[in-house]
Each structure stands twice: as structure tokens, then as C-alpha cells.
Homo-oligomer: A and B are copies of this chain.
Amino acid sequence: MTLKEQILKQVTLAHRAALKLALVPTKEKDKALKAMAAALLKDAALILKANALDVSAGVGAGLTAALIDRLTLNEKRVKAMADGILDIIKLKDPVGDVMDTKRRPNGLVINKVRVPMGVVGIIYESRPNVTSDCAALCLKSGNAVILKGGKEAIHSNKAIYRVLKNALVKSKVPVEALQLIESTDRAAVTELLKMDKFVDLIVPRGGEGLIRFVAENSTIPVVKHYKGVCHVYVGAKADLRMAEEICFNAKVQRPGTCNAMEKMLVDEKVSKRFLPVMCARFRAAGVELRGDDASRRIVSGIKKASAEEWSEEYLDLILTVKIVKGVDAAINHINTYGSRHSDAIVSRDPKASIAFLKGVDAACVYVNASTRFTDGYEFGLGAEVGISTDKLHVRGPMGLEGLTSYKYEVLGSGQVRA
């Protein structure tokens, strides 16, 4: 069997399973998820053994300490995977919700009903916990799932997959609803991305390179975000103590995340009071500062930012600072260089705040809060499948509802069109 035939077979099985799974009641899906969580705990030793192979191969291949850390499982992390599934059981099943109902003048009743997406492909990199998280989120929302993880984690992913699949055997969820592509060839991804007849949605999770590759090669709709170049604008009428706390949190609390601040815009009206204090605090926390000429005139030792840097995501303790003249300039800068992810204004001026909320073209726009809140849990959506900076289907954090579609169920009594 060629690689293409193998993947087509899996995708076809998933497609058939999805049609059945769409009809499985919540209670039965939850039972299957419970069995999956229990199986992870029961077979933890098996998973850890497989993971050790990946870790030693990774060390041999010279992966960075950060990558090895992402790759590594231990009993605590396996337990966290199981707990993650138990949390997903508690989430409300969106399938079957009647989103809208209409009676037309001709007597037709048109119900807009939430249904599963069908088959969801998840393409991810080195974290093996994505395998169980995404399997559980997809099954809970009635979707079959095609998992394609990174080659560094292949032994771990295969082990987790086998454990989860075995747990489904006695459940009402079709075993074929769970598919792992075992090939580590990138051609496997390219083939998968063309199977739009059977796969309804692709969610890539990983670095910008992976996501661009997926977006450029897929004929299947993709929900994605390339990067998070998040801004905090400290407005002319900001509470500067509040601004300091928000900027510090947005930059330092977890700099490696896509909702961390990468650029700080400071209104010229407060820049001389705000910037020296703020920069001192950042430096004490190990943040490297870069900036425009105006900021460099206020605080010495700020490195000159390059032109390209304004749209760069560092994912690190680096920050670029710019002095701006008023809220419109801030909005304009963000709409030009930002990534449409998450941007905040700190201000006590309602007019400026509203201008910012309406004018900034981003998934999440904040007034007087840290950009770090862009997250499924923090937004009350439950576990997150991903974050979207696209404007279609789902924007911002993507929870269970993001894995659903709808259909129109039209009830008639013999109506024909005139």
C-alpha cells in the first residue's frame, strides 16, 4: 500500500465513523471518555516506556533542552492528560443545540441545529499530550479525528493512541473515529491536506513554519494563527501604576506564549513619567529592551529596533518599545504591524478606550487588562483546541463549539416552490 493509499484508507474509515459518531448521545460519549482517562492511568508504564525511546532519540539528535522538556512525559504528566479528559467530560456537549428556529410564511419550519464538524485533522509538533487532549475534544463534540504528530514524539504518540483506541472497544464510540498517521514523512501531511472529500477541518498546532506549510498546501479549510504579536498601548490618560502591572504581567509572566506582549506602545504624553520606571522593572526581570529613537532618548541603553522587528514575535524576554502620539497612531501602528491576536489599551479615557476597542482589528481587544487572558479557560470556553487569528468560523480561543458546524432541518407538509 502506498503512503497515499494508507492515509486515504484511514481517512475513509474516519469519515464513515464520523457519520455514526454524530448520532451517539452525550452520555455514551462521556462513558467512552471516562474509559480513555482510566486507560491512560492503567497503562501509564507502557506510555512512559515508549516516551523514553523518543526522549533518548531526541537527546541523541541534539534537541534543545526546551524541546526535550516538551517531549518528556512522567507519571505526573500522564495523570494530567487523564485529568484533562475528565475535565472535558464536564464540558457541555454543543451537539444538538437548536441555534435558531423560524416559521416561514409558507409554513416551513426551519431549525438551525448544531452538528459535529465531521472529520477533524490535527497536525502538531512535539508535545505528546496533544494526542490525548485533541482526541478527547474531538470525540466529545462528536467528531472523528486524524492525528498527525511530530516525528520526535512518534513512539509516545503511538503508545497513547493504542491505549486510547483500546479503551473505545467496549464503548458506543466507533474505534475508527480515532486515527493516528504513523508515517513520519512530511509527504503524509501533504497527502492528507488534499483529502477534502473526507476531512472537514484542519487545525495545525505548532510554529509558524508548520502552519504556513499547512495553509499553503491544504484544500481543506484550516483554522490557524501564525503568530501572536500582541501590543499594550499605555494611553495618555492611563493609570500608570495599573499600566505597569499590566505590561509587566503581559511580558514576563509567561513570555513563550502567543498571548504575551511583544510590543509596548507608550503615549508621548506619559512616556517620560512611565518609561524609566517600567524599563527599570523590566530590566530587573531580565527583559532585553529594544525601541524607536524617541524611547531611546528617554531611557538609555535601549537597543535600536530594526524595521522588520515591529511585526516579529520573540516568544522570549525581549520587548520592543515605541512612543506614539495619541490613540489613533497606536491603532494605526497595531493594524499595520500586528497579528490580529490580542491587543490592549490602558486608559481611564472612555473615548480613547472605545476608539481602541472598535478600531483595532484583532481577535481580542482589551481595555485595562493583560493580553495574557486570551485563552479558552480564561474566556470560560473550557479546554482549547487552538487560537484563531482568521476571521472565519472561529476567532480567538477555539473551544468545543469551534469543532461544530450546523445544519438546517426543514420541516414541511408538502410545500413546493412557486
Contacts and interface: CB of A to CB of B under 8 A. Distances in A.
B390 A108 contact: no
Interface residues of A, number: 66
Nearest to A248: B416
A406 interface: yes
Contacts of A361: 19, 22, 118, 407
A373 B102 CA distance: 14
Interface string A392-418: 110110000000011111111111110
A393 B395 contact: no
B110 A379 contact: yes
A117 interface: yes
Nearest to A200: B391
Interface stretch (A56-64, A173-181, A239-247, A293-301): A239-247
B393 A393 contact: yes
A263 B329 CA distance: 59
A378 B104 CA distance: 8
Contacts of A216: 219
A369 B412 contact: yes
Nearest to A409: B357
Interface string A91-105: 000000000001010
Interface of A: 19, 22-23, 102, 104, 108, 110, 117-118, 196, 200-201, 215-216, 219, 221-223, 239, 242, 245-246, 248-250, 253-254, 335, 357-359, 361-370, 372-374, 378-380, 390-393, 395-396, 405-417
